[in-house]
Structure 1
Amino acid sequence: MRINFDVSELAAFVAVAERLNFRAASEALFISPSALSRRIDRLEDALGLRLFERTTRRVALTEDGRHFLAHASDALASLENAISDVSERAVRRTGVVTIACIPSVANHLLPKVLTTFAALHPHTRIRMLDQSAPLVLQAVSDGTADFGINFLGAQDPTIDFSAVVKERYLLAVPAGHRLAGQRAVGWEALVDERFVSLASGSGNRMLLDNAMAQAKARPVAHVEANHVEGAMALVRAGLGVSAVPGLALSGSSPADIVGVPLVRPSVSRTLGLISRKGHQLAAQPAELAKLLIQSLRSSASILTKSKVTDSRPAADLR
């Protein structure tokens, strides 16, 4: 049988069937009772069936009406789902791309990458979650972010981790500090230094604590900062020295802060692209991820040859 009625008539039938009251249904649909009645009449004519028993005092579904209601409700729900799905796909194409990344990447690499991406996709909104490594991992795992850049996640069974670059930790010291001219510094040499530590529970702190546990002697934290950028600011102010990833020094002048390779033991972290296990990135998030990976690799190459390490045997990023 050819369908010769429209969706508005189907919606009118469902509204009346659910309320068994024409006035209440008309108010729900924001049309007049007479307009609603005409829609029901057209639907009944198209079907060749009476769907309601109507008197001045009551409205009731006929047997055919009750049978048709189940199919009509399912049809409307399926149509609404189809419209919602198409709308969501359209939003994903020109909607929002969410990236979660650790602060050192957010501060030193992401602005330039996002500028390039925004020029290519001016109508796409960008949401940046610059958070600690555990929170970046959580944002990707629970779907808040499309993808992330992190050094945690390789051992997480819910995460796909694609390594991009290996980044070495350096001792950040003021330019005039006694250790600034050293080719490398062992942890035991920091015992008498005022040491700026990162907050307990942070991903960086966990890596550094594991390294210091292997050292012959370890420094005592005199000051604690939540993030690497905060630790760098404290070093810059002369409050102490700190172990930071090489990327954190990429924007610093050697006349301001110097990075000295840490040894006995050396410490490094692998930065990678993380996404939900088995999840394929949509076109725009995938494009942004590609741009960011290119920037990370380019930065790694520049830092390896930079003034921070040009006279020293160790590279910041490999």
Structure 2
Amino acid sequence: MNYSLKQLKVFVTVAQEKSFSRAGERIGLSQSAVSHSVKELENHTGVRLLDRTTREVVLTDAGQQLALRLERLLDELNSTLRDTGRMGQQLSGKVRVAASQTISAHLIPQCIAESHRRYPDIQFVLHDRPQQWVMESIRQGDVDFGIVIDPGPVGDLQCEAILSEPFFLLCHRDSALAVEDYVPWQALQGAKLVLQDTRPGSRPLIDAALARNGIQANIVQEIGHPATLFPMVAAGIGISILPALALPLPEGSPLVVKRITPVVERQFDAGAQEEPFTFHRR
């Protein structure tokens, strides 16, 4: 079950107001509905985001990090939707977008749904493919723009960073690492790792982080689709490293996620042959 855009907006409002009741008044929901929405988000992510007291709501470290990133992400989505609407008029009502499977599954649907609501005459066509295919489809003109992960130097394309997100450790709740609030990279020395194969854009970043921290990776399984990581780790085959966008955890899962220090992030870029619109960064 995926978290909804509404849940994310509710959490950001609570973080800003530091009160369930004030957040509810601001967004037109009851205090109990606001509390339930935040609790569901905590259950989905597997991370406690708030400390609740009788007088106020206090963000945990994880909650503060998430609130900051979500504020930026929601701003980026709103700006992108406005700019895409202007672009859609130039493209005769059709916008072709390419993105990797993970981005397509967890980020793009909310954008398309919101765009359809605001701009019903614009048709959005999504192509979910491996990252290398996304890059080539941009170069060949098969799509109007694509969302890629840390593409590196691409002098033949116009690319602009739009957001970033951290990597997390995924482990079984019975793992010795599950009791830690933060897990250093060095703690992964000798651990059995289940990772995505080298095709996705995230894998080179994970390999570089392991090498930079002197970790000799003991990779016992390499899989193609990120959803396969969860049953692999749940079965005790190993632990994994995955980006925030791959969450939430499956409902009823025996897994937990932990922040890894120092933080390593992956960056999302919007890429096109020419600069059709400007992404606004904050």
Match of 2:124 among 119, 122, 126: 126
Normalised TM-score (structure 1) = 0.53
Whether the aligned pair in 2 keeps the contact of 1:153 and 1:160 (CA below 8 Å) is no
- Greater RCO, 1 or 2 (C-alpha within 8 Å, sep 6+): 2
Q: What is the distance in 2 between the residues matched to 1:197 and 1:98?
A: 30
Q: 1:162 to 1:279 in 2, by over 3 A?
A: closer
Which deviations, in whole Å up to 9, do the C-alpha atoms of 1:247-284 show, x marking residues without a partner?
Answer: 21246569643221223x542211122222x3425xxx
Q: Does 1:104 align with 2:108?
A: no
Tell me the equivalent position of 2:144. 146
Measured in 2, the distance between the counterparts of 1:186 and 1:254 equals 27
Alpha-carbon displacement from aligned partner over 1:61-113 (angstroms, at most 9, x marks no partner):
xxxxxxxxxxxxxxxxxxxxxxxxxxxx999323x321111233212122222
Q: Any idea what SS the aligned residue of 2:276 has? A: coil
SS of 1:140's equivalent?
helix
Q: Which runs of 5+ in 1 are unaligned?
A: 1-88, 298-318
Partners of 1:228 and 1:239 in 2: CA distance: 15
The DSSP-based 3-state class of the residue aligned with 2:177 is coil
Contact 1:175 1:254 in 2 (8 A): no
Aligned counterpart for 1:225 among listed residues 223, 230, 233 = 223
SS in structure 2 opposite 1:202? Answer: coil
Paired AA for residue 92 in structure 1? L
- 1:273 aligns with 270
1:127 CA drift (Å): 2.0
Which of 158, 161, 165 aligns to 1:160? It is 158
Alpha carbons of 1:210 and 1:165: their partners in 2 closer, same or farther (altered >3 Å)? same
**Cα distance change, pair 158–104 in 1 and its aligned pair in 2 (3 A):** same
After superposing the two structures, state which structure 1 stretch, 239-248 or 183-192, moved more: 183-192
Matches within 5 A, 1:57-136: 92-94=91-93, 96-136=94-134
SS in 2 for 1:153: coil
State the secondary structure of the residue aligned to 2:230. helix
Question: What's the CA shift for 1:185?
Answer: 2.0
Distance 1:242 1:190, change over 3 A: same
| CA shift for structure 1 position 124 | 3.9
Tell me if the contact between 1:194 and 1:220 (Cα under 8 Å) persists in the aligned partners: yes
Write out per-residue CA displacement over residues 8-55 of structure 1, whole angstroms, 9 at most, x where no aligned residue.
xxxxxxxxxxxxxxxxxxxxxxxxxxxxxxxxxxxxxxxxxxxxxxxx
What is the rounded CA distance, in whole Å, between the counterparts of 2:139 and 2:125 in structure 1?
Answer: 17
Determine what percentage of the aligned residue pairs are the same residue: 23
Provide structure 2 residue ranges, at least 5 long, that are not aligned to the other structure: 1-87
Cα 1:132/1:256, change in 2 over 3 Å: farther
In 1, Cα distance between equivalents of 2:258 and 2:151: 28
Partners of 1:273 and 1:90 in 2: CA distance: 19
Q: SS in structure 1 opposite 2:91?
A: helix
Distance, in Å, in 2 between the alignment partners of 1:183 and 1:141 is: 43
| Residues 97 and 155 of structure 1, relative CA distance in 2, 3 Å threshold | same
**Partners in 2 of 1:235 and 1:139 — Cα distance?**
34
The aligned runs of 1:227-266 (5 Å cut-off) are 227-250=225-248, 256-263=254-261, 266=263
Classify 1:254/1:119 alpha carbon distance in 2 versus 1 (closer, same or farther; 3 Å).
Answer: same
SS of 1:113's partner is helix
Are residues 211 and 149 of structure 1, via their aligned partners in 2, closer, same or farther at CA, if it must alter by over 3 Å? same
- Aligned-residue CA RMSD in angstroms? 3.0
What amino acid sits opposite 1:103 in the alignment? Q
Task: Measure, in 2, the Cα distance between the counterparts of 1:267 and 1:253.
Answer: 26
Which portions of structure 1, spanning 4 or more consecutive aligned residues, are displaced by more than 6 angstroms?
none
Partner AA of 1:136 in structure 2: V
| TM score, norm. by length of structure 2 | 0.59
Larger radius of gyration: 1
Name the CA distance, whole Å, in 2 between partners of 1:229 and 1:149.
20
